[in-house]
């Protein structure tokens, strides 16, 4: 799937791991990179599941890493 960005600056930030970490931190940048790879691989938006699956996975991993969950 082709993904367009609103501005060139936004595109550079989103497509550069170093810039993503600098702008949003490592946890958010890792989640974004996974989601972006998933979207890029999908043939169309109809093939992308909707819902909170990605967010739940992200927060569960964060909570485990910080020792909040066993």
Q: Six-digit token pair at 28? A: 């958010």
Condensed to tens digits (0 to 9), the pLDDT of residues 53-63 reads: 545 455 555 54
Q: Give the separation between CA 60 and CA 37, rounded to whole angstroms.
A: 20
The residue extents of the domains of the chain are 8-65
Averaged pLDDT for residues 32-36: 89
Q: How confident is the model at residue 18 (pLDDT cuts 50, 70, 90)?
A: very high
Asked whether 3 and 36 are in contact (CB, 8 A), the reply is yes
């Amino acid at each position: 799937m082709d993904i367009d960005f609103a501005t060139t600056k936004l595109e550079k930030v989103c497509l550069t791991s170093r810039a993503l970490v600098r702008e949003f931190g490592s946890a958010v940048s890792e989640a974004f990179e996974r989601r972006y790879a998933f979207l890029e691989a999908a043939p169309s938006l109809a093939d992308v599941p909707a819902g909170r699956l990605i967010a739940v996975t992200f927060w569960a991993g964060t909570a485990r890493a910080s020792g909040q969950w066993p």
